[in-house]
Amino acid sequence: MENTARVKSEEMVGRIDGRLMKNKVIKGIFLAATAFTTIILMVLLYRIISQGAPYLSWDFFQNFASRRPEQAGIKAAVIGTIWMMSVVIPTAAILGVGTAIYLEEYAKKSALTRWIQMNISNLAGVPSVVFGLLGLTIFVRVFGFGNTIIAAGFTMALLVLPVVIVASQEAIRAVPNELKEASFGLGATKWQTIYRVVLPYAIPGIATGSILAFSRAIGETAPLIVVGIPTFVAFLPSGYLDQFTALPMQIYNWTSRPQVEFHNLAAAGIIILLAVLILMNSVAVWIRNRFQAR
């Protein structure tokens, strides 16, 4: 009996040691993967900052694009990006949140609504160039907007719209049913419940998902290329039907030049783009934490 118990004890210890060894191996693999990606990211950041930081100056922000690297600036691209986002943000936010509210609060659960939601989720993973082709067909050619701010803005709004809808739906689903039932019990209508109970509770999730989607719109280049946005613009737009350029297009233009100085200017533009993206993501985190604290 003692020998049998000893053998079972040794087998159990061996199994535990084997599991601990597997755990260490898997932990080491995950640690190596994390370290590899972190090193690659740090190398890229160092390369970009070392190349672009010397070119960051007040003249760089004040000058227009130029064929001479020492006179080239990013003023038109920054202002053009602001104009484009002034179309993207309200369009995607209103349509996205409105669609999410209808699908979650008003639409009856049926095969049709499930089919619509499935297609919205699938659209969130469609390559951005497909949305560029859609914008080229509808806004540039059918509506005749041409390669203007409003055409590019609507195209980028379509690009981020599925992400905004999905994020808004998840935020609305997270609202406890007890809050809505209490609102109905006090005599509130459906819209009053949505406006005064559901939306305030869902704002953190909606805002976070929307801001991250808008960050994607700022950094996308393929849809703008397909729509035909110019890469060289030496003027500021005065309206939504004017031509413009954006930060990704200006960076793309500089990287396509053979001169090393233009590549350094592209690195400086990437630093600005990264700063904008980090700022927007920080705002999203701040909004989420602020409303969650409430």
Where are the chain's structural domains?
Answer: 2-55, 60-292
Helix (H, G, I), strand (E, B) or coil at 108: coil
Q: Which residues contact 135 (CB under 8 A, 6 or more apart)?
A: 151, 152, 154, 155, 158, 223, 226, 227
How many other β-carbons are positioned within 10 Å of the β-carbon of residue 181?
Answer: 11
The yes/no answer on whether domain 60-292 falls in CATH 1.10.3720.10 is yes
The alpha carbon of 33 is separated from its chain's Cα centroid by a whole number of angstroms, namely 24
Average pLDDT value over all residues in the chain: 86
Angstrom distance (rounded) from CA 18 to CA 23: 9
Residues 73-84 pLDDT 10s: 898 889 999 999
Residues 148-181 pLDDT 10s: 999 999 999 999 999 999 999 999 988 888 888 8
pLDDT digit of tens for each residue in the chain (294 aa)? 555 656 566 666 667 777 878 888 888 999 999 999 999 989 988 888 888 888 888 888 888 888 888 888 898 889 999 999 999 999 999 999 999 999 888 888 888 888 888 888 888 888 889 999 999 999 999 998 888 999 999 999 999 999 999 999 999 988 888 888 888 888 888 888 888 888 888 888 888 888 888 988 888 888 999 998 888 888 888 889 988 989 999 998 888 888 888 888 888 889 998 888 888 888 877 877 777 665
DSSP 8-state secondary structure symbol assigned to residue 197: I
